[in-house]
Structure 1
Amino acid sequence: MKLVNVTNSYKQLVNKQLENTDAYFVKVYSAGNTTVVYTEAAQHVEILIVNKKRAVRKTEINEILAYVLKRIPKEKYDRDQISIIELKDVIEISIPMTSSLVES
């Protein structure tokens, strides 16, 4: 699966996320019919996976999670604390941070 950065096509969504949540960083990716919204905040990272045409596959969830975790230093999160909420066409992955991703 190849994730393509399509953040520029979702300016309104990104602005709303930044204005209405504690997020300081938002990126949107596309993998065909699957859209991934990656949000970073001081204490957590949230990943929203949406596919309106079919159910999101377990392999997609695992690949997207692996893609994101490669970019977060291992000492910043506890893998056992990651929660995944699965609904029909939406998956939410929450990764609590043990320390901030942004250095002060």
Structure 2
Amino acid sequence: MKLVNVTNSYKQLVNKQLENTDAYFVKVYSAGNTTVVYSEATKHAEILIVNKKRAVRKTEINEILAYFLKRIPKEKYRQEDISIIELKDVTEISIPVTSSLVEQ
């Protein structure tokens, strides 16, 4: 699966996320009919996977999670603390982090 950065096409969504949540970093990616919103905050990272045409597949969830976990240093999260909430056309993945992902 190839994720394409389409953040510039979602400026309003990104601005709303930054204004109304504790996120300091938001990126939007596309993989065909699947849209992925990745955000980072001081104590967690969030991945929102949306596909309005069909249910999000387990393989997609696993690939997308693996893609973003590569970007987070292993010492900043514990695999067993990651929570995944799956609904009909939306999946939310929450990754608690032990310290900020941005270096001071």
- State whether TM-score is above 0.5: yes
Number of aligned residues: 104
Runs of 4+ in 1 over 2 A off after TM superposition: none
Gaps of 5+ in 2: none
Compute the displacement of 1:40 (Å): 0.4
CA RMSD of aligned residues (A): 0.4
Matches within 5 A, 1:19-98: 19-98=19-98
- Structure 1 letter corresponding to 2:31: A
Shift of residue 99, structure 1, vs aligned partner: 1.0
Given the two structures, how large is their TM-score scaled by the length of structure 2?
0.99
Deviation by residue 1:55-82 (Cα, 9 ceiling, x = unmatched): 0000000000000001110000011000
How far 1:102 sits from its partner (Å)? 1.1
Taking structure 1 as the reference length, what is the TM-score of the superposition?
0.99
The question of 1:4 aligning with 2:4 is answered: yes
